[in-house]
C-alpha cells in the first residue's frame, strides 16, 4: 500500500460521507502525490546529471511512467472493485504470499520511511532558518511528538489535511510565478540548441545515473494509485477510478515540471547539487535572504502535515492487516481509545531509526526501489489477468494496452536493474526487507485466501 493510501484511508474513516465523487477522488490522488520529493530530490539528481534538458526529461518521464501505471491500475481496480490496493491485487492474481509481502512492505517501509523522509526534510529546512537547531534531533523529536499526540485522541482532522494540501498547491503555483517574474535567469537549456550538447544530453538520458535518479522521481510521484484503494467507497468506481488517477497524475505532473524548471531557472546548478533543501536555495535567489526564510518555514509546515497524516494513518493500515493476517496479529492491539498503539510504537521506532542511521538519499533510494518492485509486480499482474480472461466485459480497459503497461514495466525494470548495479546497498536492504516478510509468512501460516478474482 505504501504511502499511497494515507489520506484515502483517513478520509474514509473520518468523514461521514456516503460515496466519494470523482472530484474528491482526484483531490485525494493529488494530496497523496505532493509531498517531500518535489522539494528535496533535485539536488541528488544533479549529482550525476548536469544537463537541464536531461533533468526536465526526468520529471516528464516520471510523469509518463506514473500515467502508465495509473491507467493500468485503473483496469485492475475496475476488475476488482474492492478496497486494498496491491495487497488485494497481488493476493488475487498470484498468491497470498505476494499479497502479504505487499502489506509487509507497507508496514515496514511504506509509511515509516516516508515519515522519516518528511521529518528529515523538515529538520533541514528549519535548520536553514535557525542554525542552532540540530536537524536530526528535531526530525526525531517531531516523529515522537506527533506519534504521542495521535496516541491519545481519535480527533478527525480531514479538513486540516485538505487545507494543507491546498496550501501545497498554492505554494507551488506561487513559487513558479514568483520565480519566473523575480529571479535572474540561469539560462537553462531545456531543449538542446547545438549538436554537441544534444548528443551529450541524449547520452545522459541513457546513462546509469539517469536510471538511478528515476528512483527519486518515483518517490516524488508515488501516490498516483491512491484512489485504487477506495473502490468500495466511490461513485461508479469502474469509471471514476481510472479518471481520477489520470486527472490527478496529469495535474501533479504539470506542477512538478514547472517547479523544477523554476529551481533550475533561478539557481545555479552548482549550488543545488547534492543539496536537500533546494526549495530554500531557490527561494534565496528569488526573494532574498529574508524571503527565503519565510518560504523555508512554509515548506516545513507542509512537511509537518505530511508527517502527521502518515503517523496517524500508517498504524491503522497495519492494524487492519493485523486483523486479517495471523502472523502479524499483534499489530491489531488497541488501547481503550481504539488506537493501535503497538503499530504506532513500531512505526515510530522504525522512522526514528531511519532518521538517525541513514542519509536522506539512502532512505529515498531504499523506499523508491522497494515500492517500485511492488508496483512492477502489480502492473505485470494485468497481463496475467488478461491471459486468464479474468477481466469482465464491462470493466474499464487500459488505454493503449498492451503498450501502456509495457512502457511502465520496461522503464521500471530498467531503473531496478541500474539501481541494483549502482546502489546495491539500498537495493539489498529493500530485498532483505522482503525476505524478512517471507520468513514471517512461512513461520506463521496465514489464513487461506480465495484465489479467484470476484
Structural domain includes residue 446: no
Structural domain includes residue 447: no
Structural domain includes residue 350: yes
Structural domain includes residue 356: yes
Domain count, the chain: 1
Structural domain includes residue 120: yes
One pLDDT digit (tens) per residue for the chain, 454 residues: 444 444 444 444 444 445 667 777 787 777 777 777 777 778 878 877 777 788 888 888 888 888 898 888 888 877 776 655 677 788 888 888 888 888 788 777 777 888 888 888 888 888 888 888 898 899 999 889 888 877 765 444 455 556 666 777 788 888 889 888 887 777 766 665 454 444 455 677 777 777 777 777 877 887 787 776 666 567 777 778 788 888 888 988 999 989 888 888 888 888 888 787 788 888 888 888 778 788 788 778 777 777 776 777 667 667 767 777 666 778 777 776 667 788 888 888 988 988 888 776 677 677 777 888 888 999 999 999 888 877 776 667 888 888 999 999 998 888 788 777 777 777 788 788 888 888 877 776 555 444 333 4
Which structural domain range is residue 373 located in?
Answer: 2-441
Structural domain includes residue 452: no
Structural domain includes residue 188: yes
The full 3-state SS of the chain, as one line of letters, equals: CHHHHHHHHHHHHHCCCCCECHHHHHHHHHHHHCCCHHHHCHHHHCCCCCCHHHHHHHHHHHHHHHHHHHHHHHHHHHHCCCCCCHHHHHHHHCCHHHHHHHHHHHHHHHCHHHHHHHHHHHHHHHHHHCCCCCHHHHHHHHHHHHHHHCCCCCCCCHHHHHHHHHHHHHHHHHHHHHHHHHCCCCCCCCCCCCHHHHHHHHHHHCCHHHHHHHHHHHHHHCCCCHHHHHHHHECCHHHHHHHHHHHHHHHHHHHHHHHHHHHHHHCCHHHHCCCCCHHHHHHHHHHHHHHHHHHHHHHHHHHHHHHHHHHHHHHHHHHHHHHHCHHHHHHHCCCCCCCCHHHHHHHHHHHHHHHHHCCHHHHHHHHHHHHHHHHHHHHHHHHHHHHHCCCCCCCCCCCCCCHHHHHHHHHHHHHHHHHHHHCHHHHHHHHHHHHHHHHHHHHCCCCCCCCCCC
CATH code, domain carrying 297:
1.20.1740.10
Structural domain includes residue 410: yes
Amino acid at each position: 500500500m505504501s504511502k499511497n493510501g494515507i489520506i484515502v484511508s483517513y478520509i474514509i474513516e473520518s468523514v461521514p460521507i456516503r460515496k466519494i465523487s470523482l472530484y474528491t477522488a482526484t483531490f485525494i490522488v493529488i494530496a497523496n502525490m505532493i509531498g517531500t520529493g518535489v522539494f528535496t530530490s533535485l539536488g541528488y539528481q544533479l549529482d550525476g546529471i548536469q544537463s537541464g534538458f536531461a533533468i526536465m526529461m526526468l520529471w516528464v518521464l516520471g510523469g509518463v511512467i506514473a500515467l502508465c501505471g495509473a491507467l493500468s491500475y485503473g483496469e485492475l481496480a475496475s476488475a476488482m472493485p474492492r478496497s486494498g490496493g496491491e495487497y488485494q491485487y497481488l493476493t488475487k492474481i498470484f498468491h497470498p504470499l505476494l499479497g502479504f509481502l505487499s502489506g509487509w512492505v507497507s508496514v515496514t517501509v511504506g509509511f515509516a520511511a516516508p515519515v522519516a523522509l518528511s521529518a528529515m526534510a523538515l529538520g533541514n529546512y528549519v535548520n536553514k532558518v535557525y542554525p542552532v537547531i540540530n536537524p536530526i534531533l528535531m526530525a526525531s523529536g517531531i516523529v515522537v511528538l506527533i506519534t504521542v499526540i495521535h496516541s491519545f485522541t481519535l480527533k478527525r482532522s480531514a479538513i486540516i489535511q485538505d487545507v494543507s494540501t491546498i496550501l501545497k498547491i498554492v505554494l507551488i503555483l506561487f513559487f513558479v510565478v514568483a520565480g519566473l517574474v523575480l529571479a535572474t535567469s540561469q539560462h537553462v537549456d531545456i531543449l538542446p540548441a547545438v549538436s554537441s550538447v544534444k548528443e551529450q544530453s541524449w547520452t545522459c538520458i541513457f546513462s546509469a545515473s539517469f536510471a538511478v535518479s528515476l528512483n527519486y522521481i518515483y518517490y516524488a510521484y508515488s501516490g498516483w494509485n491512491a484512489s485504487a484503494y477506495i473502490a468500495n467507497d466511490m461513485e461508479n468506481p469502474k469509471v471514476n477510478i481510472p479518471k481520477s488517477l489520470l486527472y490527478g497524475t496529469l495535474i501533479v505532473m504539470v506542477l512538478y515540471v514547472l517547479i523544477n524548471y523554476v529551481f533550475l531557472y533561478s539557481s545555479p546548478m552548482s549550488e543545488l547539487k547534492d543539496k536537500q533543501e533546494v526549495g530554500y536555495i531557490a527561494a534565496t535567489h528569488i526573494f532574498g535572504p529574508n524571503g527565503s526564510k519565510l518560504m523555508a518555514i512554509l515548506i516545513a509546515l507542509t512537511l509537518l502535515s505530511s508527517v502527521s497524516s502518515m503517523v496517524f494513518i500508517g498504524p491503522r493500515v497495519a492494524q487492519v492487516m493485523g486483523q486479517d493476517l495471523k502472523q502479524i496479529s499483534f499489530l491489531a492491539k488497541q488501547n481503550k481509545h481504539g488506537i493501535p498503539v503497538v503499530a504506532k510504537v513500531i512505526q515510530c521506532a522504525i522512522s526514528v531509526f531511519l532518521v538517525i542511521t541513514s542519509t536522506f538519499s539512502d532512505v529515498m533510494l531504499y523506499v523508491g526501489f522497494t515500492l517500485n518492485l511492488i508496483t512492477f509486480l502489480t502492473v505485470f499482474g494485468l497481463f496475467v489477468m488478461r491471459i486468464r480472461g479474468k477481466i469482465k466485459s464491462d470493466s474499464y480497459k487500459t488505454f493503449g494496452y498492451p503498450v501502456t503497461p509495457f512502457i511502465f514495466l520496461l522503464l521500471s525494470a530498467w531503473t531496478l536493474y541500474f539501481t541494483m548495479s549502482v546502489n546495491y546497498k539500498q537495493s539489498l536492504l529493500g530485498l532483505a526487507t522482503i525476505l524478512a516478510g517471507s520468513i514471517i509468512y512461512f513461520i506463521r501460516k496465514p489464513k487461506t485466501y480465495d484465489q479467484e478474482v470476484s
